[in-house]
Amino acid sequence: MDIHTNIPIKNLTTMKIGGNARFMTEIHTPEEIETVYKNAKKQSLPIFVIGGGSNVIAKDEGYSGIIVRIRIPGFEVIADDLNSTTIRIGAGENWDSVVKRTVDMGLSGIESMSGIPGTAGAGPVQNMGAYGQEIADTLQSLSVFDSQTGIFILLTNDDCKFSYRNSIFRDSAKGRYVIASIVLKLSKNQPQPPFYEALQKYFDEHNIKLFTQKVVRDAVLDLRNIKLPDPTNLPNSGSFFKNAIVEAWQTADLKKIDPNIPLYDMGDGKFKVPTGWLIENVGLKGQLLHGIRIYDKNALVLVNESAASYADLAKARDEIVRQVISKFHIQIEQEPLEI
Ligand SMILES: Cc1cc2nc3c(=O)[nH]c(=O)nc-3n(C[C@H](O)[C@H](O)[C@H](O)COP(=O)(O)OP(=O)(O)OC[C@H]3O[C@@H](n4cnc5c(N)ncnc54)[C@H](O)[C@@H]3O)c2cc1C
């Protein structure tokens, strides 16, 4: 295992911002996780785990510990019956390659999450989701290294306490577990309507009536190409803010502020408000703030056009948050975690 020193973290993230990491190493087997944690403990070095860096923002002061980049491979069918196939996937596998492989196998359950950058192992961290599917729907279990006890354990779906873009890995157990592999149970049935609103609209517009996993994947990739900037050309972290969740009692006031505000009933007394709509309706879509462009095709995405530092990004973010609070009295929340 090679240990690299003084590595610019911006080269490890898709936002391309931030200072240097004192150390960085890449891990290709679960056993290497144990080794790196043992050695880091001896030297009292903190550890930050990273996959593709598409949901991580690095600060300007850098990181004084060791960044551990997960590269563990693996794609193995571990159970198969009439209706489903269960697959164990190494945490370092590229997520979209995994989706493509399962779609080619005629399996359903993750096809709507086509095109999401990053690794399979990071998926459960924020309960990755898109177009009506989230990883919690198909995740059976995970093999994780518990940095508190120093042993590998199996976590079940219930253990992860998944909710909208959240899990224990971002919350109560933040930084505790390193995910080595995930197990997904996928269906052999064809995808069935009703589909997520934007996907159904796409099918209607293209007169698509026969739904296979590949049809859904191709539609999602097409939709994403239109709405999301490619981080290899335009550095970004996808949705920079989570969608806002408001209580039922707030909806009347919100409608008074703007009768057209979209409110999606989540069925639990709470309503989802698309944060992109809020940002657009304070007039910030397409604007450039401190070198950060609020993407003109999707105001939820912040593109690093010419920001010199994390400080610039923070100034742009705080300005957006302030304007949304000022008009709608809603506190919007950043999605990518910070190192
Ligand atoms: C253009 C674009 C579009 C996107 N679209 C979506 C979308 O539609 N839906 C969505 O949910 N997200 C989306 N994202 C965000 C991101 O791609 C996902 O959250 C993805 O799952 C992150 O994977 P990653 O490997 O890059 O994780 P990283 O950014 O490397 O890490 C994210 C978090 O997970 C932790 N982590 C990573 N790997 C492990 C591991 N093996 N064990 C423990 N912790 C780990 C890190 O410490 C960090 O806290 C998008 C991002 C971009 C740039």
Which CATH number do you get for residue 29? 3.30.43.10
Q: What is the pLDDT of residue 268?
A: 85
Which one of 16, 26, 48, 55 would you pick to mutate in the ligand 1 pocket, going by the greatest count of ligand atoms within 8 A of its CB? 55
**101 shares a domain with 12:** no
The verdict on residue 199 lying in a domain is no
CA–CA separation, 299 and 92 (whole Å): 30
Q: How far is CA 213 from CA 90, 96, 107, 129, in A?
A: 22, 14, 7, 16
**82 shares a domain with 160:** yes
**Residue 266, Cβ neighbours under 10 Å: how many?**
13
Q: Band of the pLDDT at 86, cuts 50, 70, 90?
A: very high
**126 shares a domain with 32:** no
CA–CA separation, 263 and 278 (whole Å): 11
The verdict on residue 51 lying in a domain is yes
Q: Which two tokens stand for residue 221?
A: 């990739």
**268 shares a domain with 180:** no
The verdict on residue 218 lying in a domain is no
**40 shares a domain with 93:** no
**81 shares a domain with 65:** no
Tell me the percentage of the chain whose pLDDT exceeds 90: 97
pLDDT in tens, 91-117: 999 999 999 999 999 999 999 999 999
Q: Does residue 187 carry a catalytic annotation?
A: no
Q: What is the pLDDT of residue 1?
A: 80
pLDDT in tens, 101-160: 999 999 999 999 999 999 999 999 999 999 999 999 999 999 999 999 999 999 999 999
The verdict on residue 300 lying in a domain is yes
User: Of the residues 147, 162, 187, which one is the last residue of a structural domain?
Assistant: 187
Using H for helix, E for strand and C for coil, what is the string for 118-150?
A: CEHHHCCCCCCEECCEEHHHCEEEEEEEECCCC
The verdict on residue 209 lying in a domain is no
Q: Which of 130, 107, 105, 131 is nearest to 117 (CA)?
A: 130
Q: pLDDT averaged over the chain?
A: 96
Q: Does residue 84 carry a catalytic annotation?
A: no
- Per-position b or e across 81-92, b if 16+ CB within 10 A of its CB: eeebbbbbbbbb
The verdict on residue 194 lying in a domain is no
CATH of the domain at 291: 3.90.78.10
The verdict on residue 223 lying in a domain is no
Q: What is the pLDDT of residue 164?
A: 86
The verdict on residue 39 lying in a domain is yes
For 121, what's the count of Cα atoms within 13 Å in the CB-facing half-sphere? 26
User: Does 23 score more than 90 pLDDT?
Assistant: yes
- Count of positions (residues) in the chain: 339
- For residue 300, give its domain range: 236-338
**180 shares a domain with 133:** yes
119 Cα: distance to centroid of ligand 1 (angstroms)? 7
Q: Does residue 335 carry a catalytic annotation?
A: yes
155 Cα: distance to centroid of ligand 1 (angstroms)? 19
pLDDT in tens, 165-201: 899 999 999 999 999 999 999 999 999 998 999 999 9
Which atom of ligand 1 is the closest one to the Cα of 127?
Answer: 11
pLDDT in tens, 218-257: 999 999 999 999 999 999 999 999 999 999 999 999 999 9
Report yes or no on whether pTM surpasses 0.75: yes
User: Of the residues 42, 70, 98, which one is the last residue of a structural domain?
Assistant: 70
User: Does 37 score more than 90 pLDDT?
Assistant: yes
Return the DSSP state at 157. Answer: T
Q: Which residues line ligand 1 (CB under 6 A)?
A: 14, 49-56, 70, 91, 116-119, 121-123, 125-126, 128-130, 169, 178-179, 228, 231, 236-238, 337
User: Does 277 score more than 90 pLDDT?
Assistant: yes
pLDDT in tens, 42-74: 999 999 999 999 999 999 999 999 999 999 999
